[in-house]
Amino acid sequence: MFADNPFKIEIMDDKIGEGSGSSVYRQGDFVDLCRGPHVPTTAMLRWFKLTSTSTSYWKADSSRESLVRIYGWCFANKQDLQNHETMMREAAKRDHRKLGKDLQLFHIDEMVGQGLILWTPRGSIVRNELQNFISSHLRRQGYNQVYTPHIGKLDLYRTSGHYPYYQESQYPPLVERDLMTKLAHEGFSCGELSNLMDEGEIEGYL
């Protein structure tokens, strides 16, 4: 069925494997892998708007194929679509990237990396005040704070059980894999990192 689509075959090999089944949905002549459910007919999707496109490497790997993403909205009626457009316009005015630039709180430089924030003096003050506020409330509730690295060897995440769940969501490697041990960025706060601080002497940290 998908013999002419290497991407779908790769998805099935990675996530389904041999001996397991998967669901597909058909819309006219179009058949695709999907958990579903689908709407009974595309007549129900009359009120839609395509909003943007972007390019992305397959599985976020720059050595793989370059693909195009198409973004859009779809609603059951015209009024819901218009309401959503209004909400998105208002949200754009409050976008943290816009506010960060307008208020001179932080800077993003593509040479450093997308999403890697360079805090300005103004932004550093705001960040420190927020950290102090949170820390003071944690102390009142009896918590002690610790700090852990934001990266770790992949074996650490395999041990914690996190690796299979977000291995495809990793940022592209920050170092040449042939030159250094494979590293994984911290997809979310990994308790395995902080638990290593006391070599099992305490039950764990949040």
Q: How many domains does the chain have?
A: 3
* Mean pLDDT computed over 60-73: 91
* 14 vs 16: CA distance, rounded Å: 6
C-beta atoms surrounding 165 within 10 Å: 11
Q: In sequence order, what are the beta bridge partners of 185?
A: 151
Confidence of residue 166 (pLDDT cuts 50, 70, 90): low
Same domain membership, residue 203 and residue 169: yes
Residue 121, class by beta-carbon neighbours within 10 Å (0-12 exposed, 13-18 middle, 19+ buried)? exposed
* Mean pLDDT computed over 47-73: 92
Same domain membership, residue 104 and residue 72: no
Instruction: Give the CA distances from residue 119 to residues 57, 94, 122, 151, 174, in Å, rounded to whole numbers and listed in that order.
Output: 29, 19, 8, 20, 21
Confidence of residue 167 (pLDDT cuts 50, 70, 90): low
Amino acid code (one letter) for 86:
T
Same domain membership, residue 115 and residue 160: no
Same domain membership, residue 54 and residue 10: yes
Q: Reply yes or no on whether the pLDDT at 206 is more than 80.
A: no
* Mean pLDDT computed over 125-140: 96
Same domain membership, residue 188 and residue 134: no
Last residue of a domain, one of 66, 95, 124: 95
* Mean pLDDT computed over 36-65: 86
C-beta atoms surrounding 157 within 10 Å: 24
Q: Reply yes or no on whether the pLDDT at 177 is more than 80.
A: no
43 in a structural domain: yes
Q: Reply yes or no on whether the pLDDT at 142 is more than 70.
A: yes
Poorest-pLDDT segment among 49-58, 63-72, 148-157 = 148-157
* Mean pLDDT computed over 61-79: 92
pLDDT of residue 184: 54
Same domain membership, residue 203 and residue 170: yes
* Mean pLDDT computed over 16-33: 76
Same domain membership, residue 89 and residue 45: yes
pLDDT of residue 180: 46
Same domain membership, residue 155 and residue 105: no
Q: Which residue has the higher pLDDT, 147 or 81?
A: 81
User: Phi and psi dihedrals of 146, rounded to 5?
Assistant: -135, 170
125 in a structural domain: yes
Residue 55: CATH number of its domain: 3.30.980.10
Same domain membership, residue 65 and residue 10: yes
Q: Which residues contact 94 (CB under 8 A, 6 or more apart)?
A: none
Helix (H, G, I), strand (E, B) or coil at 107: strand
Same domain membership, residue 85 and residue 13: yes
Same domain membership, residue 87 and residue 12: yes
Full domain range(s) for residue 119: 96-145
1 in a structural domain: no
14 in a structural domain: yes
* Mean pLDDT across the chain: 79
